[in-house]
Amino acid sequence: MRDVAIIGIGINKWGELWNKSLRDIYVEAALNAIDDAKIEKIDAMYVGSMAPGLFVGQEHLSSLLSDYLGHGPIPTTRVESACASGGLAIRQGFIDVASGMNDIVLVGGVEKMNDVDGATATDALASASDSEWEAFHGITFPGIYALMARAHMMRYGTTRTHLSQVAVKNHENGLLNPHAQFQMKLTVDQVSNSAKVADPLRLLDCSPVTDGAAAVIMCPLDMAKKISKNHAIVKLSGSGHATDSIALHSRADLTTLNSTILAAQQAYKMAKLGPKDINFAEVHDCFTISEIIISESLGFFEKGEGGRAVERGETSLSGKMPINPSGGLKSKGHPVGATGVAQVYEVVSQLRGDAGKRQLKNAKRALTQNMGGSGGSSLVHLWEVL
């Protein structure tokens, strides 16, 4: 199996992109990645997208996007794993290059979510839950994550303030990210007193509905050393993928994400690293409680200590384990199919030393974690700069 590196990254400004179509958004990010890599030819492409048929009435993205990018008739695969579609596309691109099937692979993610009304968007997102046992009975993802939050609070003493501090921290980071959807400063009181969505979660605990895309270019490490002259080389050193029961009620513990634990174990083993070797992480903070539970499931903090770690400032840009320097899903936005790829954009920017005002000191190794639904699927990747 060949070692794999990232030689190009691309993204666009995320938000409510009324004047751009799904294909426009994707092509913009993909061309940015191609330009960053200084290449002309692509051998294959993988596209993460959760529900383009529900959001914009368009399926068959493999044909559409390779055509509009101007790189047809290359083999292109659309990848779906709910909100982990982008992370799974990264893994599929990695496997393709590592296997020797193709040399230069573009991996992108895209979602255009604002072309439908709020109720339709909610229904589309609910399709990532158990349609018969959860969505049919009216519970949506805020309700599902509210159950997880309440269980964590009761068992470990996590507080309403801890949840708010996650949002405040991520919005502070998002203020420094020019691509973020919401560049606004929040206070703990603003988050805690925002409109109730599903107790104990408030509106400002929830990630937004977002249009956006991101893309990266992968190639064998040996090739990257020859052709990449403008940037430091970032290697994908570990990859993990696992699933769990899709329905929350089928799990033994509402405060643990087994798919994330198992995916992380695989990635750590492949890279011959552990949690203490990681300098920072981009994780799937679709709700504030998810960042807390994920940080524990990845082994960064002991079980039940994730909220208190945020309170102590350990996950801030200057903390011992910065989490979501991009602003995360909470501030940067969450165009579901693009999120996992955008996490890679952020870690590569940081590892290259190109993250601007949010640049971390001594960033050498990073982790990305992207998951679908309430943790029914999870991808974990480890990255290091050479």
Tokens 């159950």, located at residue: 147
Q: Is 249 a catalytic residue?
A: no
- pLDDT at residue 229, rounded to an integer: 85
What share of the chain in percent tops pLDDT 90? 99
Please give the domain boundaries of the chain with CATH numbers for all domains. 4-117+209-227 (3.40.47.10), 127-207+237-385 (3.40.47.10)
DSSP β-ladder status, 201-202 and 196-198: antiparallel
- pLDDT at residue 303, rounded to an integer: 97
Q: How far is CA 218 from CA 72, 119, 281, in A?
A: 18, 37, 20
Marked catalytic residue, from 83, 206, 219, 286? 83
Sheet holding 76-79, edge to edge: 76-79, 44-48, 105-112, 211-220, 4-11, 234-243, 377-385, 365-372, 280-282
Of residues 202, 154, 147, the one with CA closest to residue 330? 202
Marked catalytic residue, from 152, 171, 334, 381? 334
Judge contact between 341 and 216, C-beta under 8 A.
yes
Q: What is the mean pLDDT of residues 266-290?
A: 98
AA letter at 10: G
Q: Give kind and range of the element (H or E) at residue 202.
A: strand 201-202
Alpha carbon distance 333, 13 (integer Å): 10
For the stretch 53-78, pLDDT in tens is 999 999 999 999 999 999 989 999 99
For the stretch 331-352, pLDDT in tens is 999 999 999 999 999 999 999 9
**For residue 200, is the peptide bond before it cis, meaning its omega torsion is within 30 degrees of 0?**
yes
For the stretch 191-222, pLDDT in tens is 999 999 999 999 999 999 999 999 999 999 99
Tokens representing 246?
A: 């899709």
Q: How many residues does the chain have?
A: 386
Of residues 256, 257, 255, the one with CA closest to residue 376? 257
- pLDDT at residue 301, rounded to an integer: 98
Judge contact between 114 and 209, C-beta under 8 A.
yes
What share of the chain in percent tops pLDDT 70? 100
List residues bridging with 196 in a β-sheet: 202
Q: Is 152 a catalytic residue?
A: no
Dihedral (CA of 384, 108, 15, 126) sign: negative
pTM of the model as a whole: 0.98
Q: What is the mean pLDDT of residues 13-40?
A: 97
Of residues 349, 341, 365, the one with CA closest to residue 232? 349
Judge contact between 39 and 99, C-beta under 8 A.
no
Any alpha helices (H) in the chain, and if so which ranges? 22-37, 52-55, 61-69, 85-99, 118-126, 141-156, 160-174, 188-192, 221-227, 258-271, 288-297, 306-311, 328-332, 339-352
Tokens representing 23?
A: 């294909």
